[in-house]
Amino acid sequence: MTSSAAERRARVSAILDRLGVSGDNPGAWAGAPMATAGRRVASFDPTSGDELGAVLLADRGQYETVVERANEAFKSWRMVPAPKRGEIVRQMGEALRAHKDDLGALVTLEVGKILSEGLGEVQESIDMADFCVGLSRQLYGLSMHSERSRHRMYEQWHPLGPIGVITAFNFPNAVWAWNALVALASGDTVIWKPSLKAPLTAIATHKICQQVLDAHGHDGVFGLIIGDDAEVGEAMIHDHRLPLISATGSTRMGRHVNQAVAGRLGRCLLELGGNNAIIVEPTADLDLALRGILFGAVGTSGQRCTSTRRLLLHESIADAFTERLAAAYGQVRIGDPLEDGTLMGPLIDEGSRAQFVSAVRAAVEQGGEVLAGGSVVDSATVLEGSTGAFVQPTLIRAHKDMQICKEETFAPILYVMTYSELAEAVAIQNDVPQGLSSAIFTDSFRSVERFLSHEGSDCGIANVNIGTSGAEIGGAFGGEKETGGGREAGSDAWKAYMRRQTCTLNWSPELPLAQGVRFDL
């Protein structure tokens, strides 16, 4: 411990005060009348177990107010020229940059990821704002040649409407930015339902960006509604006024959301579970691979959808490399994520720790062997007075037929398997329900091309000589199969937030029909 519990609490209190999220129900977070009688839900620091603050959950009436304001704001926001919308988003990026240190620390406080990751998450939102400035001048359509004389055809893109964004606890700031800032540049308004495990980050983020909108006289463009699934979540996914629901969470949650939204013929953008594998070939730079595997499996305490869950080692290097990896696991510094030198903080809560214990037990029962870690950590040895859900980063020797290896456990557990031929490794990698991220470490050109070919990785993300975690915002982020098929952030992901319109203009005195059809009176 580098600071006492009392010193830490004073530091935490100062951060919350500067962001304006101290106490119960901080700020007019919903952009609607304040909740006065809703159920009180506290936000807890997963490191210390201390309560950080609390909110009173919104009811259906407040939800209606937020949606009505978003609908009304959409009528004017969509008419703001896209480059001017981009300028407002740019100013949001500057506002986030000004609050980066405190907001990044708040992410660490609510989620338990180490401080550099908390700061990195806010930087991702800042980068997203920068990306959307350029995007606002690149909402391109195509022009096509008509088969009819003196006709012109082109397509254009229109704003879609109020967008519902449902985010998970593990990225309480960046995933919102992936959606909300792109939607804003596209001319949409946004209603955000954050995780109840990280409401203060949502409130602080909303306040920072709302101040920019207020300065430009745009009320209702952003709405924040903090409520439970039964009261607010169900209302959102069944609401015909929200043409798109972007939801991040478990595959089970995604199935339910998809069924509800599809039932009303709305659009879904789903970012769900991952069960990501890294393949390591004999030609690989093994030092590089070791670092990439360690961060992928241990970063954010294994609580990323892109976390590395499975490691496929060529049999010729498996024993020696596994020994090196197990030794590296033993050097991972578990501690207060606010402190320098900590590499792994706690899991989000006791429920997650119970899932960790259950998964390790199941792996052993199914024939696995624990090579490193495998146990919970006494939180009192990490921080004085802590009740945090700390666990050891865990390495388990496994085989491809173990059922637990095909399931996603949100914890720092890595299953190690061997293979003899690349085709076998790719088959093992793909033989899971999820399809988010994948990686190979190799110096073989042929292996790279096979991995990236039609017969290679079936994931939405395929990396070479980097790990499965840590995607850049310039590329479209998302996966296949039970990962949901959605794409967020970069590339042409903006098209999900807009509607396409094909336009045909006739500038002749004639009225020819397509395909030579005649309809003469």
Query: Would you please indicate which residues are annotated as catalytic (active-site) residues?
Result: 271, 305
Q: How far apart are CA 475 and CA 290, in angstroms?
A: 25
Count Cα atoms within 13 angstroms, Cβ side, for 97: 11
Both tokens of 517, joined, read 């059809």
- Taking CA atoms, 261 is separated from 17, 165, 183, in Å, by 39, 13, 19
Q: How far apart are CA 71 and CA 69, in angstroms?
A: 5
Q: How far apart are CA 123 and CA 442, in angstroms?
A: 30
Report DSSP state, residue 130: H
Both tokens of 256, joined, read 């339910």
Distance of CA 365 to the CA centre of its chain: 32
Residue 201 and residue 110 in contact, taking contact as beta carbons nearer than 8 Å: yes
Q: Strand, helix or coil at 175?
A: helix
Phi-psi region of 302 (alpha: psi -120 to 50; beta: other; left: phi over 0): left
What backbone torsions phi and psi does residue 518 show, to the nearest 5 degrees? -115, 140
Q: What angle do CA 247, 469, 251 make, to 5 degrees?
A: 30
Closest CA to 178 of 213, 225, 227, 129: 129
Report DSSP state, residue 219: -
Distance of CA 474 to the CA centre of its chain: 15
Q: How far apart are CA 226 and CA 35, in angstroms?
A: 10
252 burial (CB, 10 Å; 0-12 / 13-18 / 19+) is exposed
The DSSP result for 388-449, as a single string, is: -B-B--EEEE--TT-GGGGS--SSSEEEEEEESSHHHHHHHHHSSSEESEEEEE---HHHHH
Q: How far apart are CA 126 and CA 121, in angstroms?
A: 9
Report DSSP state, residue 230: I
Closest CA to 122 of 209, 45, 44, 13: 209
Q: Strand, helix or coil at 210?
A: helix
Q: Which alpha helices (DSSP H) does 31-99 contain, by range?
A: 60-77, 82-98
Both tokens of 200, joined, read 């203060």
**The residue to which tokens 């950590």 are assigned:** 377
